[in-house]
Structure 1
Amino acid sequence: MGRGWVLDDWRAAFLAEARLHRLPGTEIGAALAEIDTYCADSGTDPAEAFGEPAEYAAALAHGRGSAQGFPAGRGQLLRAALVASGTLTGVMSLLAGVDAVTREVPATVTVGQLVSVAVGVAGIVGVAAFLLRPGSRRAGGFDWRLGLVVGVGIAVTTVPQLVWKQEVLRASAWPLLGVGLVLLLSAWWPLLSGRLLTDRVRHPATGDEPVPTPGWLLGVVRWGLPVALLCVVLVAVLLGATGTG
């Protein structure tokens, strides 16, 4: 198994399930290498030799005493809820603070913004719960329902801000802006620091990855939100400067 290996449906499902059971990347890579070796020597396919990918991943996790997905994955759901809450509340606070600073008025938070944050957090946790179910990555590919939920969720989080504009909070602009920055940094730091991207699945002999992740994609995942927010803030500042000029 060398550079450029391609995962079939069974191996991709096994890899995802092993991640759910929090097996280290090195152990997942070693298991994939053993699966490939056995299947090549015996002439059988992985499903025939090892059964369902979810069951085989669970057996490996049980053998090493690893936490096993859901309900042990409630900790992962809690982390998803905390990250979602910090990120969405941080974005709301930051943008409200920047808007108030540029217009030199007190910052306000509306009912629609709070509802959008609540709906967004609930949606993210719901998607995480769907993805963290053992057996959700059965060989066969992507579930269309997940894409539908994500699309609807994006639409639903924007509607309340347009409908419910009643003010529920008025605060000084700079403190609210600072709260937003602190929340965003706290929620996003594990990703910005790279800690969540270091446990990679690698071949035990060559160190190659089953599907090498392009460096640009890792950069987008890590810096996409900060760069997008920076662009929004710069546009708001420029528009505010133009309006006051």
Structure 2
Amino acid sequence: MTGTPSPRKYRFERELAPHVDPVWAQELTVELRLRGASGKSIGETLAEVDSHCAEAGETAAESFGTPADYAQQLQLPELAQRETPQLMTVVPILGQIFGMLPILWAMPPLTQGEEVVIRTGQITMLGIVVAAIVLMTWRVLSLVRFVVRRPVPAVLCGVALVALMALAVGLLRTPLLELAPIPLLIFGVLMLAITTVWGVLRMRSATLSEDMVATPLENREAVNRRAESVRWVGYVPVLMMPVYTAALVLVLWLFA
């Protein structure tokens, strides 16, 4: 038995296309985004579908078929910048990783009164993480297409990546250098704090309303409200790293 769609979950779909099944509207929005359509084009498409459903008294599925099929028929122009490198977006995340890892590396030796031994496996793992993030950001739209349309292979790729990093740390044990734990810990805390603030400020200053999905007759206030909701969601990955780091530090401290 299919439950009633949550009003809160599909709030924006109901605002944009009140006569269209919100699940269908959301799937169409995702399909068009995956094809690189602009927010304006998506909004205009949703408005046309909503108008047709209201006048014909039919559901979107009855009139247009599945969202994937309809999105393919439309052939809306793509935004050229969606496949261009967006490396500046990922710089704060890379900085957070360069802050988190020294903290985690420093904690066990600090509690045991030893030096931090940096091994080849740790440097290799760091290189894998950086390369993966840069590549995923560079081809972000292709990555999203892959994850949405082929979730099982995407999960397997993620598991393989984690396994590769674990193998690097476990097998490559050659010591490279020794460091005092306290300076390394201070460096990590400062790096994590600075890049977290940087990420928050970038998200706060981003003009998200420029490419938000909006219907032609929708007022600017509604578009801005939607952009602010997206902005708050965008804070989550930025703040997740320091929270995750604090949780791991607590575990390392308790079980040292």
CA RMSD of aligned residues (A): 3.8
Q: Which position in structure 2 is the counterpart of 1:159? A: 167
Aligned residue for 1:108, secondary structure, equals: strand
Q: CA deviation at 1:48?
A: 8.2
Q: 1:229 and 1:47 mapped to 2: Cα distance? A: 40
Matches for 1:183-222 after TM superposition, within 5 Å: 183-193=191-201, 195=203, 199=208, 201=212, 203=214, 204-205=218-219, 206-207=222-223, 209=226, 221-222=237-238
Of 224, 235, 240 in structure 1, the residue corresponding to residue 251 of structure 2 is 235
Residues 84 and 218 of structure 1, relative CA distance in 2, 3 Å threshold: closer
Equivalent position amino acid for 1:150 in 2: G
Q: 1:228 and 1:117 mapped to 2: Cα distance? A: 17
Q: 1:78 and 1:223 mapped to 2: Cα distance? A: 18
Aligned residue for 2:114, secondary structure, equals: coil
Q: Which runs of 5+ in 1 are unaligned?
A: 62-66, 241-245
Aligned residue for 2:178, secondary structure, equals: strand
Aligned residue for 2:177, secondary structure, equals: strand
Matches for 1:122-141 after TM superposition, within 5 Å: 122-133=131-142, 137=145, 141=149
Of 24, 29, 47 in structure 2, the residue corresponding to residue 37 of structure 1 is 47
Using the size of structure 2 for normalisation, the TM-score is: 0.65
- Say if 2:76 is the partner of 1:56: yes
Equivalent position amino acid for 1:39 in 2: V
Of 3, 10, 19 in structure 1, the residue corresponding to residue 28 of structure 2 is 10
**In the alignment, is the contact (CA less than 8 A) between 1:92 and 1:113 conserved in 2?**
no
- Say if 2:114 is the partner of 1:105: yes
- Say if 2:168 is the partner of 1:148: no
Q: Which position in structure 2 is the counterpart of 1:68? A: 81
Q: Which position in structure 1 is the counterpart of 2:126? A: 117
Percent of aligned positions that are identical: 17
User: Cα deviations across residues 32-63 of structure 1 (Å, max 9, x unaligned)?
Assistant: 3321222344576488887567x5251xx4xx
Q: CA deviation at 1:176?
A: 1.0
Q: Which runs of 5+ in 2 are unaligned?
A: 1-12, 54-62
**In the alignment, is the contact (CA less than 8 A) between 2:200 and 2:235 conserved in 1?**
no
Deviation larger for 38-47 or 93-102? 38-47
Aligned residue for 1:132, secondary structure, equals: helix
**In the alignment, is the contact (CA less than 8 A) between 2:119 and 2:172 conserved in 1?**
yes
Q: CA deviation at 1:167?
A: 1.6
Residues 106 and 190 of structure 1, relative CA distance in 2, 3 Å threshold: same
Residues 169 and 57 of structure 1, relative CA distance in 2, 3 Å threshold: farther
Question: How many matched pairs?
Answer: 215
Q: 1:47 and 1:232 mapped to 2: Cα distance? A: 42
Using the size of structure 1 for normalisation, the TM-score is: 0.67
Q: 1:17 and 1:199 mapped to 2: Cα distance? A: 19
Q: 2:129 and 2:68 mapped to 1: Cα distance? A: 38
More helix as a share of residues? 2
Q: 1:38 and 1:156 mapped to 2: Cα distance? A: 48
Q: CA deviation at 1:114?
A: 0.5
